[in-house]
Amino acid sequence: MAFNIFGFGVHWYGILIATGVLIAVSMAMLEAKKRQIMPDDVIDLLFWAVPIGFIGARIYYVIFEWGYYSQNPGQIFAIWNGGIAIYGGLIAGLITLIVFCYYRGLPTWLMTDVIVPGVMAAQILGRWGNFMNQEAFGAKTTLSSLQGMHLPQFVIDQMFIGGAYRQPTFLYESFFNLIGLALILFLRHRKHLYKQGEVTLSYVLWYSVVRFFVEGMRTDSLYIFNVIRVSQALSLVLFFVTIGLLIYRRKVVKPKWYLEGSGLSFPYER
């Protein structure tokens, strides 16, 4: 817990998630105007997508932990005790975005391209909420191993969980996603590199690879029939589907270049 306000505890996880949302909104609004999309539309979208995304993240987690929650139904809504899944949030958020763009007459792929880097930044920051909660960690390791990685002492200290030092898998995911975000931000404004939708697909490719390997190191994974890690299976599906989409869209759909914008007159009337 970070602090109390009038007897109500404010947790670091909540602070980091809220900060991540603000960063995502700011990044999306800046990019939206460059792509001829009104910033107000970004705000309106995120007004719906953020809460629905959280609900989706919780539902996803509860479904794959139903053995526990069916016996403890009162805990289903106790999100402050942990238990959200990023993939569930992304799926719910994507569905919200598709419906929103349909009713607003906005280009869906371009909208996702505008929003995805901010989402990625929010994920990077959000993983530090796992760090503060001492969750989403890996197998036992040694103090010397952690010191050999030249980690800050506060990270090493926080990785002492249950009487043993643990692999900081939250940090691995956060770090490699930071590299992916830097690459996307560096490359997305290069002419004749990205078609519309390919910023989004690049993110999905990168994240699915990172999540597949990091998930294999975690000790708290959700499983399908206690055999397959849910996130690893979904990462594999997303990776190959995304490769197929990239090839199909380049050869068949032939979308506009990302830098060509929305094609809408700006400011446009709704």
Average of per-residue pLDDT across 34-60: 91
The lowest-confidence range among 48-52, 65-69, 90-94 is 65-69
pLDDT(270) > 70: no
Pairing mode, strands 223-224 and 164-166:
unpaired
Biggest CA-to-CA distance, the chain:
61
The domain locations on the chain are: 9-256
pLDDT at 222: 82
Return the sign of the alpha-carbon dihedral for residues 142, 148, 154, 155. Answer: negative
pLDDT of residue 264: 76
18-27, 35-44, 76-85, 163-172: which has the minimum mean pLDDT?
76-85
Taking only Cα atoms into account, the Rg of the chain, rounded to an integer number of angstroms, comes to: 20
- Which has more confidence, 227 or 151? 151
The residue written with tokens 């690879």 in the block is: 209
Instruction: State residue 154's pLDDT score.
Output: 93
268 or 93, which is more confident: 93
Q: Which two tokens stand for residue 87?
A: 């993939």
pLDDT above 60 (res 269): no
Task: Please state the three-class secondary structure of the chain as a single string.
Answer: CCEEECCEEECHHHHHHHHHHHHHHHHHHHHHHHCCCCHHHHHHHHHHHHHHHHHHHHHHHHHHCHHHHCCCHHHCCCHHHCCCCHHHHHHHHHHHHHHHHHHHCCCHHHHHHHHHHHHHHHHHHHHHHHHHHCCCCECEECHHHHHHCCCCHHHHHHCEECCEEECCHHHHHHHHHHHHHHHHHHHCCCCCCCECCHHHHHHHHHHHHHHHHHHCCECCCCEECCCEEHHHHHHHHHHHHHHHHHHHHHHHHCCCEHHHCCCCCCCCCC
Distance CA 155, CA 169 (A): 12
Amino acid 7: pLDDT: 65
- Give pLDDT, residue 2: 61
Q: Is the pLDDT of residue 218 over 60?
A: yes
Phi-psi label, residue 9: left if phi above 0, alpha if psi -120 to 50, beta otherwise: beta
Question: Could you report the per-residue pLDDT of 100-140, keeping only the tens digit for each?
Answer: 999 999 999 999 999 999 999 999 998 888 888 888 899 99
Report the pLDDT averaged over residues 20-29: 93
Percent of the chain with pLDDT over 90: 65
> What is the pTM for the complete model shown?
0.88
Asked whether the predicted pLDDT for residue 268 surpasses 80, the reply is no
Highest mean pLDDT among 73-82, 131-140, 227-236: 227-236
Question: What mean pLDDT, rounded, does the chain reach?
Answer: 89
Q: Please report the pLDDT score of residue 200 as a whole number.
A: 97
pLDDT at 134: 84
